[in-house]
Amino acid sequence: MTDIERVGVVGCGLMGAGIAEVCARAGLPVTVVERDAQAARSGRLRIARSLDRATAHGRLTEQRREVVAARITLVDQIEALHDRDLVIEAVAEDERLKAEVFTRLDSVLTDDRTLLATNTSSIPVIRLASATGRPEHVVGVHFFNPVPALRLVELVPSLLTSPDTVARAERFVTGTLGKEVVRTRDKAGFVVNALLVPYLLAAVRMVESGGVTVEDVDRAMVLGCAHPLGPLALADLIGLDTTRAIAESLYAEFREPQYSPPPLLSRMVEAGLLGRKSGRGFHRYDEETQRAAEAPAGPHGGTR
């Protein structure tokens, strides 16, 4: 059994929306905080589209869809999270922004036992825990996109996370949400991204060298290795800005060349070519495909 009955989520991008949805599907009231009223409206629309797809594919009945939607409250004031048992941070993969969120949460939470979780893809959890006065209650809980479909969650305690916090978080993820947990040490990239990102960066470098086209790289890995998506299409799905941010975090920690973001990736991010969410990355996407970007499988953390 879990003692977590009220959940808060900070951020309602792809990851935050998915986290809020799975918590609401598990029967919990969820309060989601966005930076302003417009972002909150966009978050509500994102959740509604996901619930509509689940209903259209027979995974939810119309009645259950309405019940799940009613459990989610979107607000633009972080003070609304004061009474939560668990708050999950899911803002952009930016260490300073995330640390600011944790500092603010620390000042508004009224229960000393509230768990603070980060959905970071790559930032060491201890750096975020140190922004609070309760580092023993901070833990990494890294979901994968799309959250309603993918079962894996990386559970990442820092050196200061208490055993009770780890146990409570794992009971919630496995017992309440029905996910599978992999425990990992608090190192940049954890397990999945430490393995995945060098592969994605190698594909970018291959295109950058001019020896092969984007289409052929992706087609080769789909047809030759039975991958559901090629590496460049997957980077587009993750978001090229997020891919670069994860790579930078990995490189800062390990200083290994395989983690260094290629110049082509950096130039594309600077040009606003972020992948599916911007309509263009290594591939081009129409509006319908951009909306569908919230549905297909592919690991990723914390975009807005």
Q: Spot the catalytic one: 21, 93, 119, 142.
A: 142
**HSE value, Cβ hemisphere, 13 Å, CA-based, for 237:** 21
Active site residue 283: no
DSSP string, the chain: ------EEEE--SHHHHHHHHHHHHTT--EEEE-SSHHHHHHHHHHHHHHHHHHHHTTSS-HHHHHHHHHTEEEES-GGGGTT-SEEEE---S-HHHHHHHHHHHHHH---TT-EEEE--SSS-HHHHHTTSS-GGGEEEEE--SSTTT--EEEEEE-TT--HHHHHHHHHIIIIIS--EEEE--S-TTTTHHHHHHHHHHHHHHHHHTTSS-HHHHHHHHHHHH--SS-HHHHHHHH-HHHHHHHHHHHHHHH--GGGSPPHHHHHHHHTT--BGGGTBSSSB--HHHHHHTTSS--------
Q: Spot the catalytic one: 119, 122, 193, 249.
A: 193
Active site residue 119: no
Q: Spot the catalytic one: 34, 93, 154, 248.
A: 154
Contact, 243 vs 235, CB < 8 A?
A: yes
Q: Spot the catalytic one: 34, 50, 119, 121.
A: 121
Give catalytic residue positions: 121, 142, 154, 193
